[in-house]
Structure 1
Amino acid sequence: MSDRLPGFSTLAVHAGAQPDPTTGARATPIYQTTSFVFNDADHAASLFGLQSFGNIYTRIGNPTNAVLEERVAALEGGTAALAVASGHAAQVVVLQQLLQPGDEFIAARKLYGGSINQFTHAFKSFGWNVVWADPDDITTFERAVSPRTKAIFIESIANPGGSITDIEAISTVARKAGVPLIVDNTLASPYLIRPIDHGADIVVHSLTKFLGGHGNSLGGIIVDAGTFDWSTGGKYPMLSEPRPEYHGIRLQETFGNFAFAIACRVLGLRDLGPALSPFNAFMILTGIETLPLRMQKHCDNAKAIAEFLAGHPAVASVSYAGLPGDKYNQLARKYAPRGAGAVFTFSLKGGYDAGVSLVSKLQLFSHLANVGDTRSLVIHPASTTHSQLDDAAKIKSGAGPDVVRLSIGIEDKEDLIADLEQALSA
């Protein structure tokens, strides 16, 4: 190929992959093995000592997973990536490199309910403390910064409400505080938004959602932007200080602009163990090949359905950034000009009971706890994904008692609208 930089759709099909050198197989093989044979004792020692790159054990790395990692890093514009077992696993591995017991990280209030639960409760056992900020008021991030702050965490498109976060404004806060900005880009995918282009230092995904796209495989990924200096001020000893388990190597000094991805692999994945199955990596790779086609169809369908719901007498309000009158429409135009995503919420005039009733009457929409499938999905967050929160917290996170969340698939939009019409009428 010439020196021309490949386009997004080309990268989605080809990045990281070559025909198998032994068999000539065009599709990336599933290397379903636990471990790999060393050339000799010196080769083994160099791999374990981080003097050379290669395969040791699938918990740490695998050739199928490596193609997935290189592909997502290319799509996001990062320097390197690490695939793990789930989106939640990605968040644990990322923050393990950054936080010591007693440290804090700032998180946007508008997040997936599972992340709110993980940050509020599970991370307490590690001594990691979350401080909440309002993504609609950037000054709340500024006020939340303290000497213990080690990171800021946001979603590019927030789950469940589909609101667009002002990544550049929050990146400015992170730069001033001298901490990395972590962006969960699950709902947008790099087809709609590339957070690194707007100041993110680390990007995470639940690969389970739009990147995999077919609701058949769990996975998560961490993308290193290569933009943060981990040696500044001694805040991040996991990266800047000598690592005793690797004969005193300083990861920042040795690996430069992909040191964070290396740390996540050789300190996080190695010891915590949330490895991604090579089979799941293969399934997700296959899904990514059609990501541009699917995401555009998702977005086109979602806008049509949001417009339908906005005019329905049983609907109190629709929260979709793709609608001209939505409060996030200007941010959507700036960050996601191809479309505002496929996940959004609407409120029913009948409140909580109407939301519960609606999901039981839909026939084409599947009632389940997932987003990003080719199939259209529905859930009532207040009774499910956000049920652990009190009503005030549900409302702050965009999951009030009257709210229904839709994840719009790639079916014919007329059929989806007909299903919503019959359920709302019933």
Structure 2
Amino acid sequence: MSDKNYGFDTLQVHAGARPDPTTGARNTPIYQTTAYVFRDADHAAALFNLQEVGYIYSRLTNPTVSVLQERIATLEGGVGAVCCSSGHAAQIMSLFPLMSPGKNIIASTRLYGGTVTQFSQTIKRFGWSATFVDFDDTEAVKAAIDDDTRAVFCESIANPGGYITDLDAISAITKAAGIPLIVDNTSATPYLCRPFEHGADLVVHSTTKYLTGNGTVMGGCVVDSGTFDWSASDKFPSLSQPETAYHGLKFHETFGPLAFTFHSIAIGLRDLGMTMNPQAAHYTLMGIETLSLRMQRHVENAVTVAKWLEADPRIDYVTYAGLESSPYFGRVEKICPRGAGGLFTFAVKGGYDACVKLIDSLEIFSHVANLGDTRSLVIHTASTTHRQLNEDQQRAAGAAPELVRVSIGIEDAADLIADLDQALAKATA
């Protein structure tokens, strides 16, 4: 495509994709291959020396995956992206060039339960650590940052409660501290929220969710804004200092705005091997083509269902930021001007037992450990996705025992309400 300023709906269909030069195939082919033939010995050497961009081995780069990377980067407004095997892989990939033993990150308390566990437990094995802070308390965020902090991490729309982070306020803190802000934009997608426009430096996605949109394949992605100055201090030697594996090459000096992206491919995927397969990239590309249409319907249905639940006497409260009663309603227009997404929780009168009965009584809603599907999904987070957390952590994350999480799909909203109505009748009888 040319450099014209195309709209989102056009870019979600065309960005990164061109007719296949050999066959003329209009859709991006699935390049199901492990390796690529070099033109000659000099060509191979240039590729391995990072002197030329091209394909070597599909652990590093693949033409189908490359199209997906360019499309997601374009939709987010970034300069480059690296796709990998899952959203959890994307989180590690985002931290890998920044961290070293003894360094820490500051993370929001409102995160997916698996992310809390990854940051509180697993990364300790690398010698990294995380401090969890309520990001509504900006003074606490400032106070948590120390000389060893290398990143701040949050979700734009937090899973499970649908809370919206004030990205402008948080990015002001990270810029003053000279460290990058990493935003998980999975629940919002670039259609609802563009974190780079609010000061974020890196964006991560579980492409498994809304980007693919049909619950078929796993994937993750890290997008680079290209605006962070990795050489402004000595905090990020992997990007600013000579890399011995490439004969002293300095990634930031050599690749400029694309330093993080090139490092993530040349070292991150090379050594960690968290590779996205080309068939997964193909399914995600097809999903992204309808992203805006789906997100509009997700939001429309979520508003309708959330309002109905809020008015129902069998419900204590609803956490949806799209409701005027939400303390986060004022952030919707600023952070997510196209809507507050399709993810939220609600508290059932009767607590834990009533939640379980409700889930077991639903017919249209699917009880699965996923979100962002065209189908409406439900789960009791305290006993599943956030089960590994203690109750204080669950409540801080928005996954209290009396809450049910719903991911509202694109079905007929009246049918969803009828399903919830009959299930609530059984759960609170």
In structure 2, the CA distance between the partners of 1:213 and 1:178, relative to structure 1 (3 Å rule), is: same
Query: C-alpha separation between the residues in 1 aligned to 2:98 and 2:342?
Result: 32
**Alignment map for 1:35-50 (pairs within 5 Å):** 35-50=35-50
1:132 alignment partner, SS class: strand
Tell me if 1:113 matches 2:98: no
**Alignment map for 1:159-238 (pairs within 5 Å):** 159-238=159-238
Other-structure match for 1:101: 101
Amino acid at match of 2:420: L
Query: C-alpha separation between the residues in 2 aligned to 1:158 and 1:207?
Result: 16
Other-structure match for 1:137: 137
Other-structure match for 2:85: 85
Tell me if 1:265 matches 2:274: no
Query: C-alpha separation between the residues in 1 aligned to 2:393 and 2:237?
Result: 35
What 5-or-longer segments of structure 1 have no aligned partner?
none
Amino acid at match of 2:149: T
| Offset, 1:4 | 3.5
Other-structure match for 1:32: 32
**Alignment map for 1:255-294 (pairs within 5 Å):** 255-294=255-294
Query: C-alpha separation between the residues in 1 aligned to 2:2 and 2:71?
Result: 19
Amino acid at match of 1:34: T
Tell me if 1:16 matches 2:6: no
Other-structure match for 2:378: 378
Measured on the aligned residues, the alpha-carbon RMSD in Å equals 0.8
Amino acid at match of 1:280: A
| Offset, 1:51 | 0.1
Query: C-alpha separation between the residues in 2 aligned to 1:371 and 1:329?
Result: 22
| Offset, 1:390 | 1.0
Query: C-alpha separation between the residues in 2 aligned to 1:310 and 1:100?
Result: 46
| Offset, 1:93 | 1.2
Query: C-alpha separation between the residues in 2 aligned to 1:109 and 1:227?
Result: 27
Query: C-alpha separation between the residues in 2 aligned to 1:423 and 1:291?
Result: 30
| Equivalent residue pairs, number | 426
Which whole-Å deviations, capped at 9, do the CAs of 1:178-216 have from their partners, x for residues lacking one? 100000000000000000010000000000000000000
Query: C-alpha separation between the residues in 1 aligned to 2:282 and 2:248?
Result: 36
Other-structure match for 2:63: 63
Deviation larger for 179-188 or 327-336 = 327-336
| Offset, 1:392 | 1.0
Amino acid at match of 1:40: D
Query: C-alpha separation between the residues in 2 aligned to 1:247 and 1:16?
Result: 32
Query: C-alpha separation between the residues in 1 aligned to 2:220 and 2:123?
Result: 18
Other-structure match for 2:421: 421
Query: C-alpha separation between the residues in 1 aligned to 2:94 and 2:399?
Result: 27
Deviation larger for 232-241 or 155-164 = 232-241
| Offset, 1:247 | 1.2
| Offset, 1:60 | 0.2
Query: C-alpha separation between the residues in 2 aligned to 1:132 and 1:392?
Result: 12
Query: C-alpha separation between the residues in 2 aligned to 1:374 and 1:223?
Result: 24
Which whole-Å deviations, capped at 9, do the CAs of 1:333-391 have from their partners, x for residues lacking one? 21112110000000011111111111110000000100000000000001101111111
In structure 2, the CA distance between the partners of 1:122 and 1:51, relative to structure 1 (3 Å rule), is: same
Other-structure match for 1:54: 54
1:378 alignment partner, SS class: strand
What 5-or-longer segments of structure 2 have no aligned partner?
none
Query: C-alpha separation between the residues in 1 aligned to 2:383 and 2:422?
Result: 22
Which whole-Å deviations, capped at 9, do the CAs of 1:72-115 have from their partners, x for residues lacking one? 00000000000000010011111111010010100000000010
Other-structure match for 2:360: 360
Amino acid at match of 1:348: V
1:234 alignment partner, SS class: coil
2:97 alignment partner, SS class: helix
**Alignment map for 1:268-417 (pairs within 5 Å):** 268-417=268-417
Query: C-alpha separation between the residues in 2 aligned to 1:138 and 1:329?
Result: 18
Query: C-alpha separation between the residues in 1 aligned to 2:273 and 2:405?
Result: 33
Query: C-alpha separation between the residues in 1 aligned to 2:384 and 2:422?
Result: 23
Amino acid at match of 1:308: W
Which whole-Å deviations, capped at 9, do the CAs of 1:10-62 have from their partners, x for residues lacking one? 00000000000000000000000000000000000000000000000000000
Q: Percent identity at matched positions?
A: 56
Amino acid at match of 1:378: V
Which whole-Å deviations, capped at 9, do the CAs of 1:240-299 have from their partners, x for residues lacking one? 111111111100000000111111111111100010000000000000000000000000
| Offset, 1:2 | 7.3
Amino acid at match of 1:113: G
Amino acid at match of 2:415: D
| Offset, 1:3 | 5.8
Amino acid at match of 1:270: R
